[in-house]
Amino acid sequence: MELLITMVANLLATDGALLGAGIAALTGLGAGIGMGIATGKAVEATARQPEAVGKIRTMLLLGLAFAETTAIYGLLVSILLIFVA
Amino acid sequence: MLAVDFSGLAEKIFPHHVVEKGWFVLNDSVISGFIVVAVLLIVALILRLTIIRHWKTTPTGGQMFLEWLVCFFDKSADEMTEEYSGLMGPYTLGAAAYICCGVLIEMFGLRPAIADLGACMALALCTFLFIHTLGFTKNKARRLLHYVNPINIVTDLAVPVSMTFRLFGSILSGMVIMDMIYILVEGIWYLGLPLILPAVLTPLFTLFHAFIQSYVFASLTLTFVQEAIEVPPRRQKKNKKTLQTAIAEKAA
């Protein structure tokens, strides 16, 4: 039992950071789904009303920037876990 | 075949201290920031002395580009921050030019000026200052009502933090990916790829990011300022009632 605990502790101390970096990269999932939905809706809106394309593009870029932020946070966390921790 | 050593990557992530004398510390990002500012000032001076001195009513190439660039920022500032557009248009153009050139300096082999937490935080704090000074000058004490709900304090404090990390993270990720590609192509030099691969991928990770991030920073600044200078709605019930009674009187 003690051996198991030391093994787990060693694993967490050495590879735990890398495991965490891998889990942090999962933020890409949510950001990808959100950006896909936003782009699809923008295409729909443009098809319905082609003359509003300028306004739709501005709003789409703003929304994509907000959605992308979560992915960037995940990337920063994983970079910090790999290279600093 | 693919003996790639990524251990050199760790040194490139955070800026190095070039000058270090007590409290006076300069890192390589700050130095490329100085270079960017000097280049921008010199370009502005040259444009002032050549194109703007020979301003024509029928514009040619250079004048067309300048007019388009200035009008783009002025117009979007006009649409979003009506009476403060004279302040916000030049600010967004300046910030966008600094971000764009600060990223593009990576193409000359220097570390991008924006890949430093200090540079991003300076830009984000400028925006924070603009949001709140303009908000309070427009709405005066009425703006304090906005803080009756304590969640709004957290929302306002999160704005500079999120702007800092958005800018820093996206520029850093582009830089790290390019560094990774440089290390990778060293291992496969025999296919002639080191000549082609970086040239193909640089526009994707550096050029594209520079324009997108500067545009996003400018439009986010304008959006937050627009939100801050919005006049809170007055009691509409009274107006509606008077309107209704007026209509009723007219009908009677």
Domain carrying residue A16: 2-83
Chain B residues close to A75, C-beta within 8 Å: 169, 173
- The domain that holds A63 is classified in CATH as 1.20.20.10
A73, B165 Cβ separation under 8 angstroms:
yes
pLDDT tens digits along B23-82: 888 888 888 999 999 999 999 999 888 887 878 787 788 888 888 999 999 998 888 888
Question: Of A85 and A79, which is predicted with more confidence?
Answer: A79
CB nearest B223 (choices: A62, A69, A83): A62
Distance CA B18, CA B34 (A): 14
Reduced to 3 states, what is the DSSP secondary structure of residue B21?
Answer: strand
Half-sphere exposure in the Cβ direction for B207 (13 Å, CA)? 7
| Interface contact A68-B173, CB threshold 8 A | no
Reduced to 3 states, what is the DSSP secondary structure of residue B125?
Answer: helix
**Domain count within chain A:** 1
Distance CA B97, CA B72 (A): 13
Stated as kind and residue range, the H or E segment containing A42 is: helix A27-48
* B1 in any annotated domain: no
Find all residues with CB under 8 Å of B54, minimum gap 6, and list them: none
Give pLDDT, residue B244.
62
Q: Which residues does chain B have with pLDDT short of 70? A: 1-6, 189-190, 234-252
Give pLDDT, residue B128.
93
Identify from A18, A82, A83 which residue to disrupt to test chain B contact, counting B C-beta atoms within 10 A and taking the largest count.
Answer: A83
The stretch A67-76 carries a mean pLDDT of 86
Among residues 53-82 of chain A, which lie with CB inside 8 Å of chain B?
Answer: 58, 61-62, 65, 68-69, 72-73, 75-76, 79
| Interface contact B165-A76, CB threshold 8 A | yes
| Interface contact B166-A69, CB threshold 8 A | yes
Chain A residues close to B165, C-beta within 8 Å: 69, 72-73, 76
| Interface contact A72-B220, CB threshold 8 A | no
Give pLDDT, residue B245.
63
Question: Of B200 and A32, which is predicted with more confidence?
Answer: A32
Give pLDDT, residue B1.
46
CB nearest A76 (choices: B162, B169, B212): B169
**pLDDT higher than threshold 90 for residue A33:** yes
Mean pLDDT is lowest, of A10-19, A63-72, B165-174, for A10-19
Give pLDDT, residue B117.
87
Domain carrying residue B167: 14-53+64-234
| Interface contact B10-A83, CB threshold 8 A | yes
Residues of B with CB under 8 A from a CB of A: 9-10, 13, 162, 165-166, 168-170, 172-173, 176, 212, 215-216, 219-220, 223
B98, B124 Cβ separation under 8 angstroms:
no
Give pLDDT, residue B250.
66
- CA nearest B221: which of B134, B150, B143? B134
* B105 in any annotated domain: yes
H helices of chain B, in order, are 9-13, 28-50, 61-80, 85-104, 117-139, 151-187, 193-202, 208-228, 236-251
Give pLDDT, residue B82.
81
The stretch A32-59 carries a mean pLDDT of 92
**Domain count within chain B:** 1
* B6 in any annotated domain: no
CB nearest A58 (choices: B172, B212, B219): B219
Give pLDDT, residue A51.
92
CB nearest B162 (choices: A58, A62, A69): A69
* B31 in any annotated domain: yes
Distance CA B76, CA B78 (A): 5
Q: Residue B140: what residue type? A: K
Q: How would residue A32 be classed by pLDDT, with cut points 50, 70 and 90? A: very high
* B118 in any annotated domain: yes
| Interface contact B168-A76, CB threshold 8 A | yes
Give pLDDT, residue B241.
56
**pLDDT higher than threshold 80 for residue A9:** no
In the numeric block, the tokens 């920031």 are attached to B33
B113, B32 Cβ separation under 8 angstroms:
yes
Give pLDDT, residue B252.
61
ipTM strictly over 0.90? no
